[in-house]
Structure 1
Amino acid sequence: MGMLDRYKKKGGFYQLLQLLETSPIAKRDQFLALIAGESPAWEEALRCRILTINRIYGWDPQYLAEIFSRVPTQTSGYALHGSPQEHIDKVLSGLPSISKRKITDVIAEVNPTPAEKSTCVARILTEVRGYINQGILRLEKVDPDLTFPENIEELLAHSYVNIPSFDSADPAKKDARPSVVGEAEEPSAAASSGLKDENDFLKRKLNQLSSELNAVKHENTVLKDKLSQIKKIA
């Protein structure tokens, strides 16, 4: 059984994404190499959406404030220790003065081991994923390139079919190409470019709609819980 088989069911892409995000970099690269051997499409889709601490540091300060105002001070200090000063300044820029002082005190006082720093970074990544799931952070606003549709496993499963083996000794097979779903004949360069642009647009739209749907589902759950509590009080 291949490594990907257990993740091809609904929700499996997200599970594998979380596994990669919380793995040490060397281990993550090994996983991605194994995945690429089984499915380049899966490897590319995962690599594009892996949440890293440096990617988070690149977000707008208002979203960083939303994150680091919720993360424990010690976890923040350990994770930021040894980071470039511009990253530290950006994280602290949106926080209240008292929070800034607490984090800078931790950074100045501690000397975490690589394992301790890595553990705290992994905790932050896990927390951020939780904030995304809860609707506290909306990826379509924060970082649209990280979004993906709910049925991404199905889409990846149908990317390619009937990929042939090439045989250089058979002239008829020299021009054979992998059979792509929906492909009939080779389009012109202009048509191909137009189809690609349209496909990219539809993918972005699908990602956006998927994220909005998840947010609405979360809001609906919260409202149901509130209504249930009101009924109990009444």
Structure 2
Amino acid sequence: MSMIDRYRKPGGFVQLLNLIETTGKDKQEKFLKMISDENPTWEAEVRKRVLTVEKILSWNPTYLAEIFPRVPALQLAMLIGGLPKDKSEAFLALLGYTERRRVEEILKDKTPTPGETTSGATKLFEEIRKMEAEGTLKFEKFDPEMVIPDDIEEKLGQGVSILPLTKTADNVSTDPGSAPAHGGGGVPPALLEEMSMLRRKLVVLSQENNKLQTENHEMKEKLERIRKIA
């Protein structure tokens, strides 16, 4: 049995992506080379959709603000600390205030090993795939090539060309035969998407504020205990 054969069943494409995304970079390239040798079309479609740090850094920061808080600070730090300086700085710039401060504090005391950096990247990829499965992260809104059609295995088996979706708002139909759906009394889709992004950003900022308030409360309690001891 070839490597691809076991992934031709429904859901197999996602399983193959998960396998590749949870290995180190060198092994990833070996896997992709094996797939390419068997079927270049499969390799091309997998490569388009496999998660990488470079790809994630190219995404709209609004969506990244929803992803990063779900990854433990230690694992984010292990990932960021193992990146080249330009990429680590770009990554830090995308973090919220609280996440960035925690990551920087961790990196003051610890330099990640290559294995820890790979583990941090794997955790980030896992969270993104989990959000995709939950429907809380929709690639069609900011990176259409990442969208995986439900019948992708069948299409690849038939040699059918898989075209990426166009970017859409939540309430805009992706069916080319349907009329444009403008919810909200004729509000343009672009404006609806912007409003949706702003709402998500507000949620993230609210979460940041709550975290800061909690930390402030904890610091006050520590100071009070120190005063009593003194």
Residue type of the partner of 2:61? P
Give every structure 1 segment of 4 or more consecutive aligned residues whose post-TM-superposition deviation is greater than 6 Å. Answer: none
Runs of 5+ consecutive residues of structure 2 not aligned to the other structure: 169-173, 176-230
Match of 1:141 in 2: 141
> How far 1:142 moved relative to its partner?
2.6
- Greater radius of gyration (CA): 1
Give, in whole Å, the separation in 1 of the partners of 2:10 and 2:77.
Answer: 37
Match of 1:64 in 2: 64
Distance 1:105 1:15, change over 3 A: same
1:23 maps to 2:23 = yes
Residues 21, 50 of structure 2: 8 Å contact kept: yes
Structure 1, residues 124-176: CA drift from partner, whole Å, max 9, x if none?
Answer: 111111111112211011311111211011111111xxxxxxxxxxxxxxxxx
What's the Cα RMSD here?
Answer: 2.4
* SS of 2:131 mapped into structure 1: helix
Match of 1:163 in 2: none
Residue type of the partner of 1:158? Q
> How far 1:86 moved relative to its partner?
4.9
Residue type of the partner of 1:204? P
Residues 65, 92 of structure 1: 8 Å contact kept: no
1:2 maps to 2:2 = yes
Give, in whole Å, the separation in 1 of the partners of 2:167 and 2:149.
Answer: 5
> How far 1:112 moved relative to its partner?
1.1
> How far 1:100 moved relative to its partner?
2.2
Residue type of the partner of 1:127? E
Match of 2:128 in 1: 128
Matched residues, number: 170
Residues 76, 103 of structure 1: 8 Å contact kept: yes
Residues 81, 107 of structure 2: 8 Å contact kept: yes
1:104 maps to 2:104 = yes
Moved more, 38-47 or 81-90: 81-90
> How far 1:20 moved relative to its partner?
0.9
What does 1:1-234 align with in structure 2 at a 5 Å threshold? 1-93=1-93, 95-159=95-159, 203-205=163-165, 209=174
TM-score of the superposed pair, with normalisation by structure 1: 0.65
> How far 1:98 moved relative to its partner?
2.8
Residue type of the partner of 1:36? S
Distance 1:154 1:117, change over 3 A: same
Distance 1:26 1:88, change over 3 A: closer
Residues 10, 153 of structure 2: 8 Å contact kept: yes
Runs of 5+ consecutive residues of structure 1 not aligned to the other structure: 160-180, 182-198, 211-234
Residues 148, 207 of structure 1: 8 Å contact kept: no
Distance 1:136 1:92, change over 3 A: farther
